[in-house]
Amino acid sequence: MNDLNDPIQNPENYKFGILYFNRKDSRYIVPKRTASTGWTINFARPRTYIVIFLVALIIIYFQK
């Protein structure tokens, strides 16, 4: 699937070439450009940063 109309395939929706950032896409978790390589998160969604922060806190908490 190399259709540039697909937001995941459009290189303009990536910051630094690796971080998916698309305000028009309402999904928080999206497949990577090559779907068989997994999933990534949409950094344009504000809740994404909250989830990253909470996961980091959980990791830090259980390191003790």
24-58 residue pLDDT tens: 999 999 999 887 899 999 999 999 999 999 999 99
pLDDT band at 1 (very low <50, low <70, confident <90, very high): very low
Q: Are strands 29-31 and 39-41 parallel, antiparallel or unpaired?
A: antiparallel
Residue 54: the pLDDT is: 96
The residue among 64 and 38 whose pLDDT is bigger is: 38
Q: Is 4 a residue whose pLDDT tops 70?
A: no
Looking at the whole model, is its pTM more than 0.85? no
